[in-house]
Amino acid sequence: MNFLATMKRSISRAYASLLKCQQPLPLIGVSSRHFSKDEHPVMPPCDFEPVKYESDPFERILEIRKQRIAPSLYTIYKKPLLLHQGHKQWLFDNEGRRYLDLIAGIVTVSVGHCHPKITEAAHKQFGRLCHTSNIFLNPPIHEYAEKLTDLLPGKLKVVYFTNSGTEANELAMQMARVYTGNCDIISLRGGYHGSGPTAVSVTAVASYKPGVATSSNCYTTMCPDVFHGIWGGSHCRDSPVQTIRKCSCSPGCCEAKDQYIDQFKETLCTSTGQRVAAFIAEPIQGVGGAVQYPKGFLKEAYNLVRERGGLCIADEVQTGFGRTGSHYWGFQTHDVMPDIVTMAKGIGNGFPMGAVVTTQEIAKPFANFMHFNTFGGNPVACAVGSAVLDVIEEEGLQKNCEVIGTQMLLEFAKLRDMFEIIGDVRGKGLMIGIEMVKDKESRKPLAAQEMNLIWEDCKDMGVLFGKGGIYGQTFRIKPPMCVTSEDVAFAADVFHRALTRHMERSQR
Q: Over 60: is that where the pLDDT of 10 sits?
A: no
Quick one: what percent of the chain has pLDDT higher than 70?
Answer: 92
Tell me, what's the pLDDT at 12? 43
Query: Which residue segment(s) compose the domain that 63 sits in?
Result: 2-101+399-506
Q: Give the C-alpha separation, 394 to 105, whole Å.
A: 23
Inside any domain, residue 394: no
Tell me, what's the pLDDT at 212? 83
DSSP assignment of 106-126, as one string? HHT--S-BT-HHHHHHHHHHH
pLDDT grade, residue 28 (50/70/90)?
A: very low
Q: Are residues 174 and 94 in the same domain?
A: no
Domain boundary among 310, 341, 374: 310
pLDDT grade, residue 32 (50/70/90)?
A: very low
Inside any domain, residue 7: yes
Quick one: what percent of the chain has pLDDT higher than 90?
Answer: 84
Q: Over 80: is that where the pLDDT of 485 sits?
A: yes
Q: Are residues 192 and 304 in the same domain?
A: yes
Q: Give the C-alpha separation, 256 to 238, whole Å.
A: 14
Q: Are residues 94 and 9 in the same domain?
A: yes
Q: Over 50: is that where the pLDDT of 316 sits?
A: yes
Q: Are residues 170 and 278 in the same domain?
A: yes
| More confident of the two residues 27 and 424 | 424
Q: What mean pLDDT, rounded, does the chain reach?
A: 92
b/e string for 86-105 if b means 16 or more Cβ within 10 A?
Answer: bbbbbbbbbeeebbbbbbbb
Domain boundary among 254, 287, 310: 310
Phi-psi region of 262 (alpha: psi -120 to 50; beta: other; left: phi over 0): alpha
Q: Over 80: is that where the pLDDT of 41 sits?
A: yes
b/e string for 405-430 if b means 16 or more Cβ within 10 A?
Answer: bbbbbbbbbbbbeebebbbbbbbbbb
Q: Which helix (H) or strand (E) holds 24?
A: none
Mean pLDDT for 96-107 is 97
- CATH of residue 90's domain is 3.90.1150.10
Q: Are residues 265 and 186 in the same domain?
A: yes
- List pLDDT tens digits, range 371-419: 888 999 999 999 999 999 999 999 999 999 999 999 999 999 999 999 9
Q: Give the C-alpha separation, 202 to 214, whole Å.
A: 10
Q: Which helix (H) or strand (E) holds 278?
A: strand 278-281
Kindly tell me the burial class for residue 12, based on how many C-beta atoms sit within 10 Å of its own C-beta (0-12, 13-18, 19 or more).
exposed
Q: Are residues 170 and 306 in the same domain?
A: yes
pLDDT grade, residue 36 (50/70/90)?
A: low
Inside any domain, residue 67: yes
Q: Over 90: is that where the pLDDT of 351 sits?
A: yes
Mean pLDDT for 191-211 is 94
Tell me, what's the pLDDT at 37? 55
- List pLDDT tens digits, range 186-197: 999 999 999 999
Give the CA radius of gyration of the chain. 23
Mean pLDDT for 343-370 is 95
Mean pLDDT for 67-91 is 95
Q: Are residues 97 and 171 in the same domain?
A: no
Q: Are residues 181 and 304 in the same domain?
A: yes
pLDDT grade, residue 30 (50/70/90)?
A: very low
DSSP reduced 3-state for 313: strand
Q: Are residues 72 and 202 in the same domain?
A: no
Inside any domain, residue 345: no
3-state helix, strand, coil split of the chain in percent (to 5) is 40, 15, 50
Inside any domain, residue 233: yes
Q: Over 50: is that where the pLDDT of 502 sits?
A: yes
At a CB cut-off of 8 Å and minimum separation 6, what does 142 contact? none
Inside any domain, residue 123: no
Q: Are residues 302 and 437 in the same domain?
A: no
Mean pLDDT for 106-121 is 98
Q: From 350, 202, 378, select the one nearest 280 (Cα to Cα).
A: 202
Tell me, what's the pLDDT at 148? 98
Inside any domain, residue 21: yes
| More confident of the two residues 394 and 36 | 394
Q: Are residues 186 and 303 in the same domain?
A: yes
Count up the domains in the chain and report the number: 2
Domain boundary among 289, 310, 331: 310
Tally of CB atoms within 10 A around 369: 9
Q: Are residues 286 and 194 in the same domain?
A: yes
**Residues 356 and 168: beta-carbon distance below 8 Å:** yes
- CATH of residue 270's domain is 3.40.640.10
Determine how β-strand 185-188 pairs with β-strand 158-162. unpaired
3-state secondary structure 148-207: HHCCCCCCCCEEEEECCHHHHHHHHHHHHHHHHCCCCEEEECCCCCCCCHHHHHHCCCHH
Sign of the Cα torsion 137, 140, 143, 144 reads negative
Q: List phi, psi (to 5°) of 428.
A: -150, 135
Inside any domain, residue 385: no
Q: Most confidently modeled of 4-8, 81-85, 245-249?
A: 81-85
